[in-house]
């Protein structure tokens, strides 16, 4: 039995498959601008850097440029629509809840560190009945910085009641690997998330392809 650790999770593409609802919201905004929808398959890898960046990438795919004021308006429209449709099709990845149960039974702390807005993150997790599992849920606006800035990781661990030296990041993209490296903690990459660079190329300390493999990967880092 290892000493308690804090497992810090990214949200979109790591805990929850949110792509269907995020892309639906993106296409709602694009449609209002008279632009065609972005296909789900290609749009999945646009996710992960927040609503504004998702819209920018969607516009770039159509060769469209907009003014900062238009981007502000489109981002507000996106967030309003998404907030009302946040868990229509979004679901936890298979095996997630069993893995979280195992960590909780072993006395480990669980936290969420995401570049999604905090209130949207909590609304999503509330609707999926996952909020109760986490000691802290922190987003891009919680501390005024986003991943890969290590401040958001350190403050998330502190809010969860843990210690950075006994923590592990779990994520699907470069921002997750980057925040772990800057915070000086190990990182587990998941191969089923959203990233324009394959997670394996970013060389996480462990790489898993299904949530059932997460407890073993985490335990190997805790006992290394």
Q: Using an 8 Å Cβ cutoff, are 13 and 194 in contact? A: yes
For residues 38-61, b (16+ Cβ closer than 10 Å) or e, as one string? Answer: beeeebbbbbbbbbeebbbbbbeb
Residues 6+ apart with CB under 8 A from 65: 59
Q: Using an 8 Å Cβ cutoff, are 47 and 12 in contact? A: yes
Grouping H, G, I as helix, E, B as strand and the rest as coil, residue 50 is coil
Burial of 203 (0-12, 13-18, 19+ CB in 10 A): exposed
Length of the chain as a residue count:
224
Q: How far is CA 132 from CA 101, 125, 135, 137, in A?
A: 12, 9, 8, 10
Helix 174-183 vs helix 150-159: crossing angle, to nearest 10: 70
Distance of CA 204 to the CA centre of its chain: 16
| 10 annotated ligand binder | yes
The CA angle 151-157-163, to the nearest 5 degrees, is 110
Q: Using an 8 Å Cβ cutoff, are 14 and 176 in contact? A: yes
Q: Which residues are catalytic?
A: 10
Annotated binding site for Mg(2+): 10, 12, 172
């Amino acid at each position: 039995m290892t000493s308690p650790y804090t497992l810090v999770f990214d949200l979109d593409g790591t805990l929850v498959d949110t792509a269907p609802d995020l892309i639906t919201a993106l296409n709602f905004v694009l449609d209002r601008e008279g632009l065609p929808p972005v296909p789900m398959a290609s749009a999945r890898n646009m996710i992960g850097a927040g609503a504004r960046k998702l819209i920018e990438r969607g516009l770039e795919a159509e060769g469209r440029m907009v003014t900062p004021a238009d981007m502000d308006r489109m981002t507000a429209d996106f967030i309003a629509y998404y907030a009302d449709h946040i868990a229509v099709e979004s679901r936890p990845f298979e095996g997630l809840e069993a893995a979280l149960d195992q960590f909780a039974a072993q006395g480990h702390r669980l936290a969420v560190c995401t570049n999604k807005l905090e209130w949207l993150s909590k609304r999503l997790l509330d609707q999926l009945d996952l909020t109760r599992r986490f000691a802290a849920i922190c987003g891009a606006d919680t501390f005024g910085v986003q991943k890969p800035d290590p401040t958001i990781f350190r403050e998330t661990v502190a809010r969860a009641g843990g210690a950075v030296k006994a923590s592990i990041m779990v994520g699907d993209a470069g921002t997750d690997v980057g925040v772990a490296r800057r915070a000086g903690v190990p990182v587990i990459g998941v191969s089923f998330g959203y990233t324009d660079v394959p997670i394996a190329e970013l060389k996480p300390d462990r790489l898993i392809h299904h949530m059932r493999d997460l407890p073993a990967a985490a335990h190997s880092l805790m006992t290394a």
